[in-house]
Amino acid sequence: MRTPTPVPDASPVSTTYDPAAFEAPDYYALDDLLTEEEKAIRQRVREFVTREVLPVIEAHAQAMTFPRDLVPEIARQGLLGPSIPTAYGGGGHNGIVYGLMMQEVERGDSGLRSFCSVMSSLVMYPIWRYGSEEQKRKWLPALARAEAIGCFALTEPHHGSNPAGMETRAVRDGGEIVINGHKRWSTNASEGDVCVVWARDDEGDVRGYLVELDRPGVSTPRIMDKWSLRAAITSEVIFDEVRIPATNQLPEAKGLRAPLSCLTQARYGIAWGVIGAAMACYDAALQHARNREQFGRPIGGFQLIQERLVEMVSEITKAQLLAWRLGKLKDAGTMRPQQVSLAKRNNCQMALDVARSARQVLGGNGVLGMYPVMRHMMNLESVITYEGTHEIHTLIVGQDLTGLNAFAG
């Protein structure tokens, strides 16, 4: 048998991807719809991602490590709680700014955007919306500065799309609450300090609780065998007779409506975020189409490659319009959860389609880590599933259109 030839560090390809030459597609001059402040914030975050995220993110994804070193700068960039009022350490920004920030972070990696989404929409938002004044003052500034890391535990091993089936229980015992249960797929949990846990109380009502993750009885084993979001932490969260003071209950959260309202905030950010992943994939495909030659000419000169690029820009443009309009509805206070479902559903599918098509444009090189496309494609397989699967969002909008519930029965 022959001795295997060592694999070279870099394959001898005729083109490489230059992220510094990134050109954001804006085919319909949508920048005209943004304020100067919104564009300036977007530019600042874009530069941060190019300068600090892109050089390291592929190695983290390959090694399945979370880029913890980036967290202080993520906080300094205002990416944790951008829409939380400044009085609590947040950015006090409108929904458009939050969306643009998520778009730029996800151009780097969906896992990093997940980190920001969970912190902002699934931890800070419920504390701000449903917490006591004491809880807000204790946690929100610390979370905004990343001095505390938070996670959100709704999904259970046997209850994903149907969280109403949750089995986790929170039983009152004098001045304390005792939590027992098993949550699964919790982003950030293994490196987290506090968890927003959803459980049924003595009356059978869904309630939210803040559980410090160093309490006796809590364990957060990390889920390691992921092919997706490898640069993000995803964990089990197991509660075995965990005691918390009754004051750790979120006083204003009662019923499934409370965790679902947090999902509305996170889904909104995802509808914007995935546009960033799609832009990165499109940009890599465009650069390659211009530079890679076959049959004596750049492959971008072939009609079938042009069709792919045109399709990508058409879909990205439509997604940008959806996200921007959704942002305006959000800022006007009239956005409905069903409208968020439509945008999350459409834009995730769009980004996944763009990633798959970009991978084809890159040919064999498309499976290499020196291009961002395969990593985005694998990440988007999670993004289209979490925060409500594609099918669940289809049924949410379907129910809205027909008045008929197709979830069960």
| Active site amino acids | 387
- Work out how close the CB of 263 gets to ligand FAD at its nearest, in angstroms, rounded to a whole number: 9
How many chain residues interact with ligand TGC (CB under 6 A)?
26
Is the Cβ–Cβ distance between 188 and 118 less than 8 Å? yes
Given 115, 125, 371, 386, the residue binding ligand FAD (CB under 6 A):
386
| Binding to ligand FAD, residues 192-231 (CB under 6 A) | 229
- Work out how close the CB of 375 gets to ligand FAD at its nearest, in angstroms, rounded to a whole number: 14
- Work out how close the CB of 262 gets to ligand TGC at its nearest, in angstroms, rounded to a whole number: 8
CB nearer to ligand FAD: give 20 or 408: 408
Is the Cβ–Cβ distance between 282 and 358 less than 8 Å? yes
How far is the C-alpha of 107 from the C-alpha of 353, rounded, in Å? 16
- Work out how close the CB of 135 gets to ligand TGC at its nearest, in angstroms, rounded to a whole number: 20
Per CB under 6 A, the segment of 173-181, 278-286, 339-347, 388-396 that binds ligand FAD is 388-396
End-to-end CA distance of the chain: 60
Q: Does 239 bind ligand FAD (CB under 6 A)?
A: no
Q: Does 118 bind ligand TGC (CB under 6 A)?
A: yes
92: left (phi over 0), alpha (psi -120 to 50) or beta: left
| Contacted entry of ligand FAD, ligand TGC, none for residue 209, CB cut-off 5 to 8 Å set by kind | none
| Contacted entry of ligand TGC, ligand FAD, none for residue 260, CB cut-off 5 to 8 Å set by kind | ligand TGC
CB nearer to ligand FAD: give 120 or 155: 155
What tokens appear for 64 in the block? 């399945």
How far is the C-alpha of 290 from the C-alpha of 297, rounded, in Å? 9
x/- letters, 114..153, toward ligand FAD (CB under 6 A): ----x---------------------------------xx
CB nearer to ligand FAD: give 118 or 218: 118
Given 77, 120, 155, 365, the residue binding ligand TGC (CB under 6 A):
155
Q: Does 387 bind ligand TGC (CB under 6 A)?
A: yes
Q: Where are the alpha helices (DSSP H) in 213-302?
A: 257-291
Rounded to whole angstroms, the maximal C-alpha distance in the chain is 80
Given 92, 141, 163, 217, the residue binding ligand TGC (CB under 6 A):
163
What tokens appear for 302 in the block? 């072939």
What tokens appear for 230 in the block? 């490898």
Q: How far, in Å, are 97, 102, 127, 142, 152 from residue 123 at the CA level? A: 19, 16, 6, 12, 6
Q: Does 407 bind ligand TGC (CB under 6 A)?
A: yes
The type of residue at 36 is: E
Q: Which residues of 148-170 are buried (b: 16+ CB within 10 A; e: fewer)?
A: bbbbbbbbbeebbeebeebebbb
Beta bridge partners of 238: 182, 219
The type of residue at 188 is: N
How far is the C-alpha of 211 from the C-alpha of 151, rounded, in Å? 10
Binding site for ligand TGC (CB under 6 A): 114, 117-118, 152, 154-155, 161-164, 187, 255-257, 260-261, 263-264, 266, 337, 386-388, 392, 396, 407
Which residues form the interface with ligand FAD (CB under 6 A)?
Answer: 118, 152-155, 160-161, 185-187, 229, 234, 382, 385-387, 389, 391-392, 395, 407
